[in-house]
Structure 1
Amino acid sequence: MSKKKEFENEKVEEVLKDEKVEEEKEEVEKDETLEDKMAKVEADLEDWKNAYARKNAEFQNFTKRKQNELEEFRKYASEKVILKVLESVDNLERGIAASVETKDFDSLVKGVEMTLSQMHGIMNAEGVEPIKAVGEEYDPYLHQAVMTENCEETDNDHIIMELQKGYKMKERVIRPSMVKVCKKQ
């Protein structure tokens, strides 16, 4: 072989070696890059897990706090109404005390009537109203029939007598009227 050919072959071999070295370098760099990427993904995953755990704990704390607030609200929900009723109780107690001292029955009746009027005012302010009963047609959603009677002057299934008043609060029945209903035979 000629020297030129040998020289060219050596150059080709060197180039091939250099390329091989470069390829090996790139593979090592790829391996490092994959390891780096894997480490980064694992770190991101750990960050996401921690963030999820924190958010989950925050949500559980929020839920418990809201549940406690709701229980507290329910516990004292009737406070405003009770304060209004206490005014009427105070008036009744004062009326009884005054009637004991004076032995005046008429004053006691007048005081009770005033207190009853005050109680009706409280009920109206809270949206409570009595259910109409006597003379009305029996409605099982509004009335509770506890007695029946054959009455010639009243139409069938109409209420003859109210035994206990019923009340609605803002269109919702809170206590049905206890009534006697006409049932013709």
Structure 2
Amino acid sequence: MTENPEIVDIDKPENSAAQDNSEFQALQERYLRLYAEFDNFKKRSEKDRQISVRFASESLLKDLLPVLDHLEQAVSAATGASSVDAISEGVRMVLKQFEDTLGRYGITSFSAIGSVFDPMKHEAMAEQADSSVPAGQVLAEYQKGYLLNERLVRPARVVVAKSS
């Protein structure tokens, strides 16, 4: 009757309700299989994510262990050391190694001394009157601030100048 194969002739017996029902059941089974497969995928992905989070710091810790070893060696050497300068130099070397290790992971420190107080990067611990600098300038620093790939991890803890 029609030449276009996409047009279905409803008068033909192949398009019975039984055939439609079996097609529906096949599609429903396919849907359920895909749904179960997707659900399993989500569970596997979540498990993988949890494992990644749990062990994300492993490489950092492996790089920090030599720093810990050197600190232990410095403490051992300090007990028999005759010179404070030698101990001080050893501690400075360990500090440099520690900072270098953190730097490899994108962790950098910043100093706030001399800059204008910025509440997004600084935490004011005290105010001090000082007529030699403008109000709001950082005079001193209790602790340096730290960034992780340009994102603030810890604000610098500072003393801010106030007008006298």
Which category of TM-score, normalised to the shorter sequence, fits these structures? Answer: 0.7 to 0.9
SS in 1 for 2:127: strand
Provide, for residues 48-85 of structure 1, a one-character-per-residue CA deviation record: whole Å limited to 9, x for no partner: 11111100000000001101111111111111111111
Extract unaligned runs of 5+ from structure 1: 1-29
Q: Does 1:61 align with 2:40?
A: yes
CA separation in 1, counterparts of 2:11 and 2:142? 92
- The residue aligned with 1:15 is none
Larger Cα-atom Rg:
1
Trace 1:22-61 onto structure 2 (pairs within 5 A).
33=13, 37-61=16-40
Contact 1:133 1:162 in 2 (8 A): yes
- The residue aligned with 2:159 is 180
Say if 1:31 and 1:140 are closer, same or farther in 2 by CA, change over 3 A: closer
Extract unaligned runs of 5+ from structure 2: 1-9
* Higher mean displacement: 53-62 or 118-127: 118-127
More relative contact order, 1 or 2 (CA 8 Å, 6+ apart): 2
- The residue aligned with 1:124 is 103
Q: Which amino acid aligns with 1:162?
A: E
- The residue aligned with 1:77 is 56
- The residue aligned with 1:10 is none
Of Structure 1 and Structure 2, the greater helix share is in 1
Kindly tell me the number of residue pairs found equivalent between the two proteins: 155
Structure 1 position 107, deviation (Å): 3.1
SS in 2 for 1:86: helix
Q: Does 1:140 align with 2:119?
A: yes
Structure 1 position 129, deviation (Å): 1.7
CA separation in 1, counterparts of 2:137 and 2:74? 40
Contact 1:131 1:142 in 2 (8 A): no
Structure 1 position 104, deviation (Å): 4.9
Q: Which amino acid aligns with 2:92?
A: E
Structure 1 position 157, deviation (Å): 0.5
Of Structure 1 and Structure 2, the greater strand share is in 2
- The residue aligned with 1:167 is 146
CA separation in 1, counterparts of 2:160 and 2:70? 37
Q: Which amino acid aligns with 1:110?
A: E
TM-score using structure 1 length: 0.77
Instruction: State the percentage of identical aligned residues.
Output: 29
- The residue aligned with 2:130 is 151
CA separation in 1, counterparts of 2:16 and 2:83? 97
CA separation in 2, counterparts of 1:31 and 1:152? 99
